[in-house]
C-alpha cells in the first residue's frame, strides 16, 4: 500500500432483477473495477437481498454489498463512474475510512435482548447524579486506596 493511498469503503445496490446465482458474478465484475483502477480490495461482503427503506428506480428490494479497499484519491472518480455506468448497479456510495482501527468496521450485527414474554427489552431508568455525589464517592474511593 502506497503512502498516499487511503482506505475506502464502497457500498452498492444491485438490481433485484438479477438471478440469485448471478449475484456473485456481478460482485466479481465490481471487484475488477476497483482492481483495474489500481485499488487493492481488503475486504468485502457478498451482496445479499435487502428490503430498502425507500424505493430506488421503482424497486423496494435490492442486493446490497460492500468492498473495503485502498486506493489513491485520484482513482476514486474513475471507480465511482464505472460503478454508475454498470447497468445492474442501482446506487453506490464511497466513504473514506478514517485512521481508526479498520477492525472496528467489520460487518455490523444488531443484537437484541428480549424478555421471556417476547416484549421489548426494559430501558434503564435515567438517574440524575449531582456533582456533590460524585465528589463524595471519589473521596471514599481515595480513602480506601490510601489505606
Provide the pLDDT confidence category of residue 142 given band limits of 50, 70 and 90: confident
pLDDT at 115 over 50: no
pTM of the full structure: 0.64
Of 34, 47, 45, 36, the residue nearest 8 (C-alpha): 34
Annotated domain spans of the chain:
6-98
* Cα gap 17→61, rounded to integer Å: 10
Neighbours of 29 (CB within 10 A): 13
Tell me which H or E stretch contains 73: none
pLDDT digits (tens, 9 = 90+) for 17-58: 989 889 999 999 999 999 999 999 999 988 999 999 988 888
pLDDT at 103: 53
Pick the CATH number of 6-98 from 3.40.50.880, 3.30.70.60, 3.40.225.10, 3.50.50.60: 3.30.70.60
Give me the chain's average pLDDT, please: 82
pLDDT at 30: 93
* Cα gap 75→79, rounded to integer Å: 6
Q: Are 52 and 60 in contact (CB under 8 A)?
A: yes
pLDDT at 2 over 60: no
pLDDT at 71: 92
Amino acid at each position: 500500500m502506497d503512502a498516499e493511498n487511503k482506505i475506502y469503503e464502497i457500498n452498492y445496490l444491485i438490481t433485484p432483477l438479477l438471478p440469485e446465482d448471478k449475484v456473485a458474478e456481478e460482485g466479481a465484475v465490481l471487484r475488477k473495477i476497483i482492481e483495474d483502477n489500481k485499488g487493492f480490495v481488503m475486504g468485502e461482503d457478498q451482496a445479499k437481498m435487502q428490503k430498502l427503506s425507500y424505493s430506488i428506480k421503482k424497486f423496494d428490494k435490492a442486493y446490497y454489498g460492500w468492498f473495503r479497499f485502498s486506493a489513491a484519491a485520484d482513482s476514486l472518480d474513475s471507480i465511482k463512474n464505472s460503478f454508475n455506468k454498470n447497468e445492474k448497479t442501482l446506487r453506490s456510495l464511497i466513504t473514506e475510512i478514517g485512521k481508526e482501527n479498520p477492525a472496528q468496521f467489520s460487518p455490523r450485527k444488531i443484537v437484541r435482548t428480549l424478555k421471556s414474554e417476547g416484549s421489548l427489552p426494559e430501558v434503564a431508568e435515567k438517574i440524575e447524579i449531582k456533582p456533590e455525589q460524585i465528589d463524595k464517592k471519589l473521596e471514599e474511593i481515595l480513602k480506601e486506596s490510601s489505606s
